[in-house]
Structure 1
């Protein structure tokens, strides 16, 4: 018996645009944790992050006709995520400093000793001190594992410019980390 391969995100989005709303449920299952992390790591409280993920998928369904076949789905999705976040902030949503390491969607790490756990906590604190643009670029490239070309499409710049932005953000993160380490 031959298995049918799982449809790609782009194929599911075409189905959704054609009115097959079940495709939205599959996309939601694939992206809900990553999007929750994206919002949470930018300083949005857990409950608000959950709400923003729901709002985002409502917009995906509402604006499904704007998706064009052949378009990079993740770039389109994260553009909607950025818009949802901007709308939330315009309506008075407040950013917070929260220890995100306590949530279940933390990256999988090998068994860590006490020193490694402390390093992770310091890294999280350093990330929260980054300017929003630098934090976003690191979240997209490192945590969401988006390719530089996808991020470039999302933020409206070249792949080379994204590489430079990532390099600068990592330099800033390194500097903030070492300042925290000296305290």
Structure 2
């Protein structure tokens, strides 16, 4: 990123190749919509280019990138408050596919769908810490830097979010 900042904007392609999947996963788990998540990934990379002067190189690039992603997500949510979160049925059908599946495989798919529903019902703050810690596999210290809080606060948020996720999942299952 420091090379991009100094004017070598061709390096953005390399950053895109390295990080677009991570950003898509984060945004998809926050929104539950593949098409919107793809668009927002593009917006994050546009902002990286636009605000490259703000990257100091003192902290981790990934932390700075997630700050931008959170801002893009917040802007999207503000603009689309009327568009309530929903699970994209087309995306779910894509994962199920054609042909016959064993009962065991179908059960796993149903559990995954229920888990996705439960995750979608969490508060944005709880969903965010779970997505960052479990899906993006970020360490608590890194999450703390992204969220501008302490590592202890992140641990508490993750614990509370997991409890809420378990309770929500059990309500959906029954």
TM-score tier after normalising by the smaller chain length: 0.7 to 0.9
- Are 1:141 and 2:156 an aligned pair? no
**Greater RCO between the two (CA within 8 Å, min separation 6)?**
2
Tell me the distance in 2 between the aligned counterparts of 1:163 and 1:57.
29
The one of 169, 176, 180 equivalent to 2:168 is 176
* Aligned equivalent of 1:161: 153
SS of the residue corresponding to residue 41 of structure 1 reads: helix
Note the C-alpha offset of 1:134.
Answer: 0.3
* Aligned equivalent of 1:126: 118
- Higher share in helix: 2
Aligned length: 164
Deviates most, 39-48 or 61-70: 39-48
* Aligned equivalent of 2:50: 62
Provide runs of 4+ in structure 1 moved above 6 Å. Answer: none
Note the C-alpha offset of 1:29.
Answer: 1.1
Aligned residues: CA RMSD: 2.0
Note the C-alpha offset of 1:91.
Answer: 2.5
* Aligned equivalent of 1:7: none
Tell me the distance in 2 between the aligned counterparts of 1:47 and 1:146.
24
Tell me the distance in 2 between the aligned counterparts of 1:161 and 1:102.
38
Give unpaired runs (5+ residues) of structure 1.
1-12, 105-110
Q: TM-score, structure 1 length as denominator?
A: 0.81
Tell me the distance in 2 between the aligned counterparts of 1:165 and 1:57.
28
Any conservation in 2 of the 1:45–1:95 contact (CA below 8 Å)? no
Q: Please list the CA deviations of residues 119-140 of structure 1 after superposition, one character each: whole Å capped at 9, or x if unmatched.
A: 2111111111111110011011
- Equivalences for residues 73-152 of structure 1 within 5 A: 73-92=61-80, 94-99=83-88, 101=92, 113-152=105-144
* Aligned equivalent of 2:22: 34
Tell me the distance in 2 between the aligned counterparts of 1:35 and 1:159.
22
